[in-house]
């Protein structure tokens, strides 16, 4: 099989609000249509790279149902496009590590304080500086925790409840406010290789590199006052947003199992148009082993963000001299690179989300009790220096997108192109002039993540809202950035 | 960039919307694998803590075919770099078939690797004989 050619915008026909479809071509290997949530402007940006041809490749996966879906932040990746969603029906449907990616359970966590912007302004430099010292950033950096092998296996198998109970990291009241309670029961630490455990053993509580970050933010707009009140969010409030994942451990889990599946798929009569889409039935021994290892990496990532939140709480407490308003309360923690077993209608599906966020509606029994009737909080980080958004899931998204939405602004420009257009030291000054304090290892890395390298997050979130995938609740403006 | 007439291997980092693509041209397959290692080192970079080649190791990598072998070779280097905090820059390929690579690798310990590389991917992976040499492309997740 060969990779599909990139379709043009005109090949996609509008079929609903902010929804375009590329139908099954006669005689093609497509099993279902490809659908993209976008407006005309975003669609024009999306067809400039190879993301739609990658989405067409996804439509060929055995067991896929309804459609392969592209979120409005979609851009070219490897295997799945980033911002891609696909569900396969069990028991025969496949699981593909390329549908989750190397950074398993890369995700976002939002904490809120009782502080206003003016309360932290005199201490902002110190807050950002101390945060950067407490949470190591950069590739392969080691954290303050070094896990024994027994502790590692318990982190992988038992997730955040273990970390809170046995190590006093995080708080018991955090647990219901983490997707899946911070632990996936299907995790199989024994399916995680020795190499993966070695990579992860000193990385709990570290940020990593690339587009990972910690931001100190201010709530600067409320769109849905009742929902904001239910989530404990108010105008002018200081918040902290953490964006990171499973670090080297998750990367190695994906590396290990792509290799296994690349060899094994032929035994199941499967061919794929892209080797990075290697897959096997979820019910097969190889599928079960990958699923167990992937879930363990998901638990590791939940724990990583829990430790970072613990460090952020320590920093706020220390820098702001123990002021009660400086206590940070968790609003929610969401994953955006996972495959999960979910019920949608009368079907049991394996929902792959690669750069896409789960967004359950207000009637879902799987969201925290406090948020029932409101919807699952959905966190959409913008690019560095631009706004991030808090939304809530809708019940309608079940039929539209397997209850999924976008995960960020989405890249519109390569790193090289960004570096040719932006000088890091100039960007640093511009951000400072806008009242944003930045800690970043180098100006070059700063330039790679410049706002112009990303799509317009306001437009992306508007499409999500207008398409009915999630509802806007609040906008968060950064005032301090620790970049990974 | 063509391999024709070149006695030395070379590489280039090419544009990709979300990740990084490396292209390697070399007069032979062993030279191509060694150059791929140097391309990875150029992407990662870092500030050395000791003289070059102070650290050495022996590596054996196996795979389904030569394209997969290139991915597994790079992923082996990513793993060793991350765990040992070493940037590998010198590669002697002592045995190479379509299914197995044996190499001596040398490098230097670093305080910090500059750029993150999560893994080499199989997406758009290719190795082709061209103009008397060999050309490969690999996409790195960064």
- Residue-wise pLDDT tens digits, A147-177: 999 999 999 999 999 999 999 999 999 999 9
**Over residues A448-462, mean pLDDT:** 92
- SS3 string, B70-88, reads HHHHHHHHHHHHHHHCEEE
Measured torsion, CA atoms of residues A301, A303, A308, A311, in degrees rounded to the nearest 10: -170
Q: State the catalytic residue, choosing from A167, A407, A425, A465.
A: A407
Owning domain of residue B103: 48-111
Per-residue pLDDT tens digits for A245-284: 999 999 999 999 999 999 999 999 999 999 999 999 999 9
Nearest C-alpha of chain A: how many angstroms from B124?
7
Instruction: Report whether A87 contacts A65 (CB < 8 A).
Output: yes
- A396 lies in a domain? yes
Residues of A within 8 A of B82 (CB-CB) are: 139-140, 199, 248
- A272 lies in a domain? yes
Q: Do B119 and A79 touch (CB under 8 A)?
A: no
Per-residue pLDDT tens digits for B5-34: 457 999 999 888 888 999 999 999 999 999
Q: CA-to-CA distance for A479 and A204, rounded, in angstroms? A: 26
If one counts the domains in chain B, the total is: 1
- B101 lies in a domain? yes
Picking from A294, A298, A303, A301, the residue whose alpha carbon sits closest to that of residue A166 is A303
- Smallest Cβ–Cβ distance between A77 and the set B18, B81, B85 belongs to B18
The answer, yes or no, to whether residue A88 has pLDDT greater than 80, is yes
Q: CA-to-CA distance for A62 and A64, rounded, in angstroms? A: 6
Q: Do B119 and A254 touch (CB under 8 A)?
A: yes
Q: How many CB atoms lie within 10 A of CB A420?
A: 11
A452 compared with A198, residue with greater pLDDT = A198
- B1 lies in a domain? no
CATH at residue B65 = 3.55.10.10
Q: How confident is the model at residue B112 (pLDDT cuts 50, 70, 90)?
A: confident
CATH at residue A157 = 3.90.1860.10
* Mean pLDDT for chain A overall: 94
Instruction: Report whether A56 contacts A86 (CB < 8 A).
Output: no
Tokens 């150059």 map to which residue? B35
What pLDDT is recorded for position A142? 61
Strand partners, B90: B106
The B residues from 3 to 62 touching A (CB cutoff 8 Å) are 13, 15-20, 44
List C-alpha distances in Å: A111 to A32, A239, A310, A476.
39, 6, 11, 12
Q: Do B121 and A79 touch (CB under 8 A)?
A: yes
If one counts the domains in chain A, the total is: 1
Nearest C-alpha of chain A: how many angstroms from B76?
10
- A397 lies in a domain? yes
Active site residue A407: yes
- B27 lies in a domain? no
- A391 lies in a domain? yes
Q: Do B19 and A103 touch (CB under 8 A)?
A: no
What pLDDT is recorded for position A7? 81
The answer, yes or no, to whether residue A145 has pLDDT greater than 80, is yes
What pLDDT is recorded for position B48? 66
Q: Which ranges constitute the DSSP H helices of A121-180?
A: 124-134, 149-167
In the DSSP assignment, the letter for residue A77 is: E
Q: Do A259 and B72 touch (CB under 8 A)?
A: yes
Q: What is the pTM of this model?
A: 0.95
What pLDDT is recorded for position A261? 97
Nearest C-alpha of chain A: how many angstroms from B32?
21
Nearest C-alpha of chain A: how many angstroms from B115?
7
The residues, ordered by sequence, that sit 6+ positions from A409 with a Cβ below 8 Å of its Cβ are A73, A380, A381, A382, A383, A386, A454, A455, A456, A457, A460
The answer, yes or no, to whether residue A87 has pLDDT greater than 80, is yes
Owning domain of residue A408: 9-412+454-483
Picking from A166, A171, A174, A170, the residue whose alpha carbon sits closest to that of residue A147 is A166
Q: CA-to-CA distance for A471 and B58, rounded, in angstroms? A: 55
- Smallest Cβ–Cβ distance between B123 and the set A140, A208, A274 belongs to A274
Q: Do B18 and A82 touch (CB under 8 A)?
A: yes
The answer, yes or no, to whether residue B2 has pLDDT greater than 70, is no
Reported ipTM: the value is 0.92
Q: CA-to-CA distance for A289 and A284, rounded, in angstroms? A: 8
- A449 lies in a domain? no
Q: How confident is the model at residue A444 (pLDDT cuts 50, 70, 90)?
A: confident
Q: CA-to-CA distance for A349 and A351, rounded, in angstroms? A: 6
- B67 lies in a domain? yes
- A427 lies in a domain? no
Instruction: Report whether A319 contacts A123 (CB < 8 A).
Output: yes
Per-residue pLDDT tens digits for B41-57: 999 886 666 777 788 99
The answer, yes or no, to whether residue B1 has pLDDT greater than 70, is no
Q: How many CB atoms lie within 10 A of CB A271?
A: 11
Residues of B within 8 A of A445 (CB-CB) are: 114-115
């Amino acid at each position: 099989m060969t990779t599909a050619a990139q379709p043009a915008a005109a090949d996609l026909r509008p079929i609903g609000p902010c929804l375009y479809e590329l139908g099954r071509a006669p005689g093609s290997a497509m099993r279902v249509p490809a659908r993209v949530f976008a407006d005309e402007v975003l669609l024009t940006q999306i067809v400039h790279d190879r993301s739609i041809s990658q989405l067409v490749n996804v439509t060929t996966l055995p067991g896929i149902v309804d459609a392969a879906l592209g979120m409005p932040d979609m851009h070219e990746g490897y295997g799945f496009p980033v911002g891609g969603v696909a569900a396969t029906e069990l028991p025969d449907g496949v699981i593909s590590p390329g549908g989750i990616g190397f950074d398993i359970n890369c995700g976002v966590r939002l904490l809120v304080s009782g502080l206003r912007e003016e309360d932290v302004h005199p201490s902002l430099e110190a807050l950002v500086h101390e945060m950067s010292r407490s949470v190591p950033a950069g590739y392969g950096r080691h954290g303050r925790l070094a896990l024994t092998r027994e502790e590692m296996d318990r982190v992988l198998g038992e997730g955040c409840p273990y970390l809170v109970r046995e190590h006093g990291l995080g708080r018991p009241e955090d647990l219901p406010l983490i997707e899946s309670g911070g632990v996936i029961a299907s995790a199989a630490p024994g399916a995680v290789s020795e190499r993966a455990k070695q990579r992860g053993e000193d990385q709990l509580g570290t940020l990593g590199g690339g587009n990972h970050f910690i931001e100190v933010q201010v709530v600067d707009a409320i769109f849905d006052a009742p929902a904001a009140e239910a989530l404990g969010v108010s105008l002018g409030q200081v918040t902290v947003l953490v964006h990171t994942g499973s670090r080297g451990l998750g990367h190695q889990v994906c590396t290990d199992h792509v290799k296994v599946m690349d060899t094994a798929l032929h035994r199941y009569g499967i061919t794929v148009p892209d080797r990075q889409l290697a897959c096997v039935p979820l019910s097969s021994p190889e599928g079960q082993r990958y699923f167990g290892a992937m879930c363990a990496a998901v638990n590791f990532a939940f724990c990583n963000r829990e430790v970072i939140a613990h460090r952020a709480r320590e920093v706020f407490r220390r820098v702001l001299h123990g002021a009660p308003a400086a206590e940070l309360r968790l609003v929610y923690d969401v994953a955006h690179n996972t495959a999960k077993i979910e019920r949608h209608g009368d079907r049991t599906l394996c929902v792959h989300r690669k750069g896409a966020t789960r967004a359950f509606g207000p009637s879902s029994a799987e969201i925290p009790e406090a948020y029932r009737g409101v919807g699952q909080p959905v966190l959409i980080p913008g690019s560095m220096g631009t706004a991030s958004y808090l939304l809530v899931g809708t019940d309608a998204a079940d039929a539209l997108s397997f209850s999924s939405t976008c995960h960020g602004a989405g890249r519109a420009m390569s790193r090289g192109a960004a570096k040719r257009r932006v000088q890091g030291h100039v960007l640093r000054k511009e951000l400072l002039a806008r009242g944003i304090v930045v800690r970043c290892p180098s100006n070059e890395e700063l330039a790679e993540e410049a706002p112009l390298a990303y799509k317009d997050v306001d437009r992306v979130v508007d499409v999500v809202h207008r398409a009915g995938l999630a509802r806007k609740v609040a906008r968060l403006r950064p005032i301090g950035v620790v970049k990974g | 960039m063509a391999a024709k007439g070149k006695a030395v291997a070379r590489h280039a980092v090419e544009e990709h919307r979300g990740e990084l693509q490396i292209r390697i041209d070399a007069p032979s397959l062993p030279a191509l694998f060694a150059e791929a290692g140097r391309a990875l080192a150029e992407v990662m970079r870092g500030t050395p803590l000791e003289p070059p080649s102070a650290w050495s190791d022996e590596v054996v990598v196996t795979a389904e075919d030569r394209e997969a072998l290139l991915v597994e070779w790079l992923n082996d280097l990513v793993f060793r770099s991350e765990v040992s905090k070493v940037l590998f820059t010198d590669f002697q390929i002592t045995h190479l078939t379509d299914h197995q690579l044996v190499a001596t690798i040398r490098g230097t310990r670093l305080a910090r690797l500059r750029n993150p590389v999560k893994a080499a991917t199989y997406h758009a992976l290719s190795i082709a004989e061209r103009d008397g040499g060999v050309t490969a492309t690999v996409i790195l997740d960064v």
